[in-house]
Structure 1
Amino acid sequence: MFAAKPTNPAAALERLLVVMARLRDPEKGCPWDVKQTMQSLTRYTIEEAYEAVDAIERGAPEEIKDELGDLLFQIVFYAQVGKEQDSFDFTDIANAISDKMVRRHPHVFADRQTDESQLSTQWEAIKATEKTAQSNALLDSVPRGLPALMYAQKIQKKCATVGFDWPSVTPVADKVREEVAEIQAELDAPERDQQALEAEIGDALFAMVNLARHCNVDADAALRRASQKFARRFATVEAMAIGQKGSLTGHSLDELEQLWQQVKSQE
């Protein structure tokens, strides 16, 4: 296919496109790749995106390279499927994003002077103009398939652009406390209504995302880091517990809590 690895981006991309086309060949390709559809690929795209983020956050250059390659392969996969359906190909995808970036950066490509503080407003105004022909509903432009925390943050931010937002962080924090109290009320009810409890917990999570936004904190990133911190601490607790009694199950909850507090104090 290629005598040697290409040494320039254009040739490397062309090689990847040829590899993808071969994988999708109905007669000589890979059966798994051939049967994939855009719909079936979405779960893998999400997984690859998260694996790339994980490698980046861990600062592992070789893994970052591999994971970004996997993510690029997903784009090329969609491009090949689109080409087979006579819908679009990789060239269309690349041109579409290039056109969009040029259009949304007039201060770069059209020599229009824009103060840095106005860039976000300019970006949203241009996006709004682009979406007018598609839909007049404010939230229709926010993809519903986003991870839940990201989806909540994006629709809150979108509503804020038209003034539907709390004026400061104080009432947002009050709203969080209110939602937590409503969860407790459901827990204290004589008969637990699981559906109502789920709704109240959902409201509390939504309020927490709003609090994060008002504090200039990315809720998804904050939760991911908190989860990673928990996993790191628990791994240490597990190692200590195994060192003491050979397993985790040999410890009571109080003993594990003592190890947990010990790990926290050491950090």
Structure 2
Amino acid sequence: MILFKMEWKRLYKGFLIWTLLFAGLSFAFSAIYPQMFTPSLQETMDTMLSGLPESMLTTFNISLTGEASMFKPVGFFAYYFQYLFVAACIYASLLGMQSLISEESEGTIDFLYAQPISRQAILFSKFIARLTVISFFWLLSGLSSMGSLLVFRLASDPKKEIISGITKIYLYEWLVLIFFLTLGFLISSLLKNASHATSLSLALVFGFYLLGILSGLQEKLNFLSNWSPVHLGIPSSILNNGLSEAPYLALLSVVFLAASFYCYIKRDFQS
């Protein structure tokens, strides 16, 4: 419990910044929705977007029909939120990668081992603290997004559709964030210096994101989409198809966490 409180104290400033940033951006984009989708402007945008190649629409995850249609409040949210989701994946990855190596890089590992606590307890406390942070961040972000859409929705937009759509997106994307958190945990147990965590997190997330983009460029590359957790968590894809890969993401997260325990316990630390 003491280590959990120490971790929370270390992380809460970043948690507040990320939460307020996401809430503010969700509010700002939701405020744009009523002005963008007046009947006349909607007809113009529909004509313009319909003339674009299907491959381009797929690459940028633009849907013109169905539950993820850009002309519906949740579909409009899904379009702009895909880019915020990439940022959230980076945040989750950073939380994981900076968790286990930070003590060694800061020279506080001796102090930690002087406490009556095992390595397993250290890792467990750090993971629970970061799981709590990413979960509360995502919960507050989801509530702010839902509230903003409900405030700025058009009179013809059903509340039930907004609530169910936002809930569906955030619930499935939470599993993707847990995947990146646990993968970051595993990498942290192998890193030698915390200074590499940021660049590795960016490379990891954008690498997966690039796989998703490549999968939409040519039909023969479609299989790459199944190898990209970022692409699987794209809001428009979740609205249209759900997330059938959810059990695999959960299983991989458990495997990464178990591997983190093994590597951390076997590791020789430098003070």
| TM-score grouping bracket, smaller chain normalisation | under 0.3
Larger RCO: Structure 1 or Structure 2 (Cα < 8 Å, ≥ 6 residues apart)? Answer: 2
TM-score (norm. length: structure 2): 0.22
Q: Which structure is larger by alpha-carbon Rg, 1 or 2?
A: 1
Judging by fraction of residues, say which structure has more helix. 2
